Structure 1
Amino acid sequence: MIEVVTDITEDAFLGGQLLLKQKRSGHRAGHDAILLAAATEARAGDRVADLGAGVGTAGLALARRVAGLDLCLVEIDPDLAELARVNAAANAIAAETIVLDVTADAQAFAAHGLMPDSVDHVLMNPPFNDSTRHRGSPDQARHTAHVATEETLHAWVHAARRILRSNGVLTLIWRADGIAEVLAALSRGFGSLSILPVHGEESRPAIRVLVRAVKGGRAPTRLLPGLMLNNESRVPKKEVRNILEGRAVLPLAEP
């Protein structure tokens, strides 16, 4: 019997509530995208943009939890954007998929219907590996998805700020040792920050930060208790399993 090998896999997320096709090689969706969705607050009818959506994981996971979103998936790679479109349809989730560079100008965004001051929520998982310390993958798509330049975060935050309404909310995930970069990028136009450190293990420094920021917000910054992904035996904690399987949300998503 001959085994047929395809470069596309179908993987289950949210405990099987979401089935996504993605490339076998290159960037593959993981916990970061699901944590990002679980950290995003939204209500039915909200206009939501997932910037750098890849195959749609974070945006579609959010839409699976919150029905009735006006969801837009923005992705620079046409092949990934097509998979995002297929995934939305296969999971019966209404979503518009746009092939667009997040760093494009306002005119390019507007041409795709993303006008200034028109979106309620933006969520994003930008490339965040430091190009000076991280050896990029020879796979160009994976390199683009993972490696940041000095301007990446500022450019992505600028795009989010432009399309968000006043008091609109940006939720992002970034590497924890780059928190200073996050605060600098959000210092113009955003406030009311809530920061959730994410630790792989209790005895180790945080590996990620999830940040919620409000356009024009003026409330003091909140640093929340850290989320510990694994216990002493390096097994995911029950609360984390509940989040990854779609049975719970993170404090950033709670009203």
Structure 2
Amino acid sequence: MTESATIQPVPTSEDAFLGGRLRLRQPIAGHRAGHDAILLAAATVARPGDRVVEFGAGVGAAGLALASRVAGLDLALVEIEPRLAALAELNAAANGFPAEVLVLDVAAGAAAYTAAGLVPDDADVVLMNPPFNHPARHRGSPDAARRTAHVANPTTLECWVHAARRTLRSGGVLSLIWRADGLGEVLAALGRGFGDIGVIPVYGRPQAPAIRVLVQAVKGSRAPLQIHPPLMLNEADGRPTAQAKSVLDGEQILPAPVGPN
């Protein structure tokens, strides 16, 4: 990324993730990384040397959390907002993880991707936490960056999955997190070009509907869908479950439904 010097700084905080092993600078106001990014990283399988691309990286939380677990990734962080991309670049350097940071709209066409250095059929893993709140059911934030990061338009998921399909090599893995009540949308978007789809439901508390789904899919596979054991974040009294605490502290990964072929 070459635009950092011209970007106006924003007030930031330094926050600890993975039990303090990952420290991230992020804006005090607007979009902030949280549990979703860490869960996404914990459910994503990668191997040393893999080409890994994170779409909608924000300050780099998911990609850098994955890099903290898997050494030697060829990591690219894609973010549309220049100020967040600048923070992602700072965070990668501060935590000692080499990463290429690209200011790019995930929904851009193939020519823009190639110009940015993301050529087709190249990545082993794409991970993404797309904007997923339904605009009709979610009151958008007055902060434009936060609104962009959280509220989907009708074509968001389809565009992001299409971009992932173009970027991944055959046999490469797409890993994403989405709201649980939108699982049908995810399966529909993955219907063209992906198989071996694995789903981990994420529950906020017992006796309540799932709030998220972690989904992995393999480009070009024809293997059937599998629903895997769920993750419960909290006990009935609101305390984090032992598994959730272990995952969020980076001591345990989630049993990933699929892995790179």
Please give the TM-score of this superposition, normalised by the length of structure 2.
0.94
Which residue pairs with 1:110 in the alignment? 114
Which residue pairs with 1:31 in the alignment? 35
Count of aligned positions: 250
Q: What does residue range 49-198 of structure 1 map to in structure 2 within 5 Å?
A: 49-198=53-202
Contact 1:38 1:253 (8 Å CA) reproduced = no
Which residue pairs with 2:240 in the alignment? 236
What are the ranges of 5 or more consecutive residues in structure 2 without an aligned counterpart? Answer: 1-9
Aligned residue type for 2:138: H
Residue 254 of structure 1: how far off its partner (Å): 7.1
Pairing partner for 2:48 from 41, 44, 48 = 44
Q: Distance in 2 between matches of 1:174 and 1:148?
A: 11
Residue 233 of structure 1: how far off its partner (Å): 1.0
Q: Distance in 1 between matches of 2:208 and 2:47?
A: 35
Aligned residue type for 2:148: T
Q: Distance in 2 between matches of 1:106 and 1:152?
A: 16
Residue 104 of structure 1: how far off its partner (Å): 0.3
Correspondence 1:245 to 2:249: yes
**CA displacement 1:112-160 (0-9 Å, x = unmatched):** 1110001000000000000111111110000000000110000000000
Residue 67 of structure 1: how far off its partner (Å): 0.4
Contact 1:38 1:62 (8 Å CA) reproduced = yes
Q: Distance in 1 between matches of 2:73 and 2:52?
A: 7
Residue 225 of structure 1: how far off its partner (Å): 1.6
Q: Distance in 2 between matches of 1:253 and 1:134?
A: 30
**CA displacement 1:165-212 (0-9 Å, x = unmatched):** 001000000000001100110001001000000000111000000000
Q: Distance in 2 between matches of 1:249 and 1:79?
A: 30
The SS at the match of 1:169 is strand
Task: Indicate the larger mover: 41-50 or 129-138.
Answer: 129-138
Contact 2:199 2:257 (8 Å CA) reproduced = no
Aligned residue type for 1:152: T
Please give the TM-score of this superposition, normalised by the length of structure 1.
0.97
Runs of 4+ in 1 over 3 A off after TM superposition: none
Residue 9 of structure 1: how far off its partner (Å): 0.1
Alpha-carbon RMSD? 1.0
Q: Distance in 2 between matches of 1:253 and 1:15?
A: 25
Q: Distance in 2 between matches of 1:189 and 1:112?
A: 24
Q: Distance in 1 between matches of 2:230 and 2:63?
A: 24
Contact 1:41 1:253 (8 Å CA) reproduced = no
Residue 253 of structure 1: how far off its partner (Å): 6.5
Q: Distance in 1 between matches of 2:136 and 2:23?
A: 36
Identical positions, percent: 64
What are the ranges of 5 or more consecutive residues in structure 1 without an aligned counterpart? Answer: 1-5
